[in-house]
């Protein structure tokens, strides 16, 4: 009996996947679990999008054009115009979510065996896309104390080898919530020019900025040919299940290569593209997104104020996205998170994402956890009360028992 090869499909041994069954069991025991571990928005998908799906005029559901339905591409072009970014129809390709956009970008920028720089902690699926495309991720380590902002340029430059073809990051950042300053972005731009790199900028959280402003990498004219923007409607339309994103570049060779990738997989799903078209045709669409961002802003402020009250938790207020990467007053965050699911008494508990899952360097992030503040106010309040109590109880466990739990 042949065994499937373990190569590229060997997704990172994500701690969160080890913990999920424990959450399922906890719920079976009747426990209420506050899922601070998931970055899945809970806000209803806009009605205009849903109407676009329901009222789609489709008789034969044939392949959509590989680069996207023309009206969907036009909707994306218009969206960037509203963001102050001038792109043409030829510079936009509709992808099957941001996931496919990053896979395409790595395929375009790299040959098998090439390297990309990625600030860590980073979104763990980046590792999956890199393995599927046989690309190696070289981490740029950032720290909680610096709010996960970038280290000095010379530290990054020291990581560059002849095989380094690109730098990839999410901006605003998942799991860090970091929004890079203009100065940091200028440093990346200079580095890309000096060392001949592509910049793969994952801007799916573009609107989720509460302090300062978001500067898109598309707005730097000196790297027009080097930037590959990856985008998605998943977060800003609360439509993760739509699987509609976009790859954007001013570089014609990049777009030609992206078109080849797109042709191979034929097309992105039709109905969800039509949902996007209808959403962008709604005169209120900007207001709908702004109201949602306002809600997340309030949640961030509330959540951070609640976290500040919990002894031993350390964090810097994130500028964007909807995550807080925090330090916990424990040696092994995963052991604590597991204990909360298996042994914490009472009727409620909290699930966090262990920090180590967002790093590739062994040992980093061991005392960290990521929380997503995608719950409603009352749930956030309860979750933080439970978290505070859990940390307090866990700290009083005999050391031997705590270690055993790890």
Q: Kindly identify the residues of this chain, within the stretch 312-341, that bind a copy of itself according to CB under 8 A.
A: none
User: Closer to a copy of itself at the Cβ: 191 or 388?
Assistant: 191
- Work out whether 5 is an interface residue with a copy of itself (CB under 8 A): yes
Q: Is 103 in the site for a copy of itself (CB under 8 A)?
A: yes
Rounded to the nearest whole angstrom, what is the least distance from the CB of residue 156 to a copy of itself in the complex?
Answer: 18
Q: Is 61 in the site for a copy of itself (CB under 8 A)?
A: yes
Sheet holding 368-372, edge to edge: 323-327, 368-372, 353-354
Stretch that binds a copy of itself, among 100-108, 282-290, 301-309, 311-319 (CB under 8 A): 100-108
Q: Taking CB under 8 A as the rule, does residue 174 contact a copy of itself? A: no
Q: Does 4 bind a copy of itself (CB under 8 A)?
A: yes
CB-nearer residue toward a copy of itself: 200 or 380: 200
Comparing C-alpha atoms, which of 118, 72, 67, 117 is closest to residue 95? 67
Query: Residue 41, interface with a copy of itself (CB under 8 A)?
Result: yes
Q: Give the tokens for residue 384.
A: 């933080």
Residues with Cβ within 8 Å of 355's Cβ and at least 6 positions away in sequence, in order, are 121, 175, 325, 333, 365, 366, 367, 368, 369, 370
Q: Which is nearer to a copy of itself, 59 or 378 (CB)?
A: 59
Shortest distance, CB of residue 181 to a copy of itself, whole angstroms?
Answer: 25
Rounded CA separation 185/183 (Å)? 5
Residue 226 CB, nearest approach to a copy of itself (Å) = 6
Contact by Cβ (8 Å): 275, 53: yes
Minimum separation from the CB atom of position 223 to a copy of itself (A): 10
Distance CA 191, CA 220 (A): 13
**In the stretch 362-381, what mask flags binding to a copy of itself with x, by CB under 8 A?**
--------------------
As given in the structure block, the two tokens for residue 150 are 């970038």
- Pick between residue 2 and residue 363 the one whose CB is nearest to a copy of itself: 2
268 contributes a contact to a copy of itself by CB under 8 A: yes
Instruction: Give yes or no for residue 400 binding a copy of itself (CB under 8 A).
Output: no
* Contacting a copy of itself within 176-235 (CB under 8 A): 196-198, 225-226
Residue 62 makes contact with a copy of itself by CB under 8 A: yes
Which of these, 369, 367, 373, 357, lies nearest to 120 by C-alpha position? 357
Residue 266 — φ and ψ, nearest 5°? 75, -70
- State the distance between the two ends of the chain, measured CA to CA, in whole angstroms: 36
Among 257, 278, 307, 353, binds a copy of itself (CB under 8 A): 257
Cβ of residue 44: shortest distance to a copy of itself, in angstroms?
5
The site for a copy of itself, by CB under 8 A, has a size of 78
Residue 264 touches a copy of itself, criterion: CB under 8 A: yes
Among 18, 21, 44, 88, binds a copy of itself (CB under 8 A): 44
Q: Please identify, among the stretches 42-50, 167-175, 308-316, 330-338, the one whose residues bind a copy of itself according to the rule CB under 8 A.
A: 42-50
Site membership for a copy of itself, residue 33 (CB under 8 A): no
Nearest C-alpha neighbor of 361 from the set 121, 27, 20, 128 = 121
Q: Write down the residue that tokens 């950042």 correspond to.
A: 173
Which one of 231, 272, 332, 334 is in contact with a copy of itself (CB under 8 A)?
Answer: 272
* CB-CB contact of 181 with 213 (8 Å): no
Q: Do the Cβ atoms of 247 and 95 come closer than 8 Å?
A: yes
Binding-site member from 30, 112, 162, 345 for a copy of itself (CB under 8 A): 112
Within 10 Å of residue 351's Cβ, how many Cβ atoms?
Answer: 23
Q: Tokens for 66?
A: 């590989």
User: Does 137 interact with a copy of itself (rule: CB under 8 A)?
Assistant: no
Describe the chain by its helix, strand, coil percentages, rounded to 5: 45, 15, 40
Q: How far apart are the C-alpha atoms of 262 and 259, rounded to whole Å?
A: 5
């Amino acid at each position: 009996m042949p065994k499937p090869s373990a190569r590229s499909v060997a997704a990172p041994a994500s701690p969160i996947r080890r913990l999920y069954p424990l959450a399922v069991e906890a719920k079976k025991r009747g426990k209420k679990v506050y899922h601070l571990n998931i970055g899945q928005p809970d806000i209803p998908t806009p009605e205009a999008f849903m109407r676009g799906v329901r009222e789609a005029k489709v008789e034969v559901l044939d392949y959509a054009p590989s680069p996207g339905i023309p009206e969907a591409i036009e909707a994306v072009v218009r969206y960037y115009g509203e963001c102050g970014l001038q792109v043409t129809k030829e510079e936009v390709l509709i992808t099957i979510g941001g996931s496919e956009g990053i896979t395409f970008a790595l395929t375009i920028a790299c040959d098998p065996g090439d390297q990309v720089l990625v600030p860590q902690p980073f979104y763990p699926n980046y590792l999956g896309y890199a393995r599927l495309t046989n690309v190696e991720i070289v981490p740029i380590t950032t720290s909680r104390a610096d709010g996960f902002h970038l280290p000095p340029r010379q530290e990054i430059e020291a990581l560059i080898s002849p095989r380094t073809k690109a730098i990839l990051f999410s901006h605003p950042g998942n799991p860090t919530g970091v929004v890079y300053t203009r100065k940091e972005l200028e440093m990346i731009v200079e580095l890309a020019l000096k060392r001949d790199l592509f910049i793969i900028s994952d801007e799916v959280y573009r609107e989720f900025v509460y302090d300062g402003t978001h500067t898109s990498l598309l707005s730097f004219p000196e790297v027009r040919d080097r930037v590959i923007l990856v985008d998605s409607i998943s977060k800003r339309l609360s439509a993760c299940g739509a699987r509609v994103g976009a790859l954007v570049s001013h570089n014609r060779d990049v777009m030609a290569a992206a078109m080849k990738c797109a042709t191979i997989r034929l097309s992105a799903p039709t109905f969800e593209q039509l949902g996007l078209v209808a959403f962008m045709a709604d005169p209120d669409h900007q207001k709908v997104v702004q109201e949602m961002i306002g809600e997340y802003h309030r949640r961030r402020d509330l959540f951070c104020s609640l976290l500040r009250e919990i002894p031993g938790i350390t964090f810097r207020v994130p500028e964007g996205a909807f995550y807080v990467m925090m330090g916990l007053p424990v040696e092994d965050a995963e052991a604590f998170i597991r204990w909360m699911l298996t042994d914490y008494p009472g009727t409620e508990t909290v699930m966090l994402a262990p920090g180590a899952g967002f790093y590739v360097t062994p040992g980093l992030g061991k005392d960290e956890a990521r929380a997503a503040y995608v719950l409603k106010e009352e749930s956030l309040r309860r979750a933080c009360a439970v978290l505070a109590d859990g940390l307090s109880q866990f700290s009083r466990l005999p050391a031997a028992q705590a270690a055993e739990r790890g």
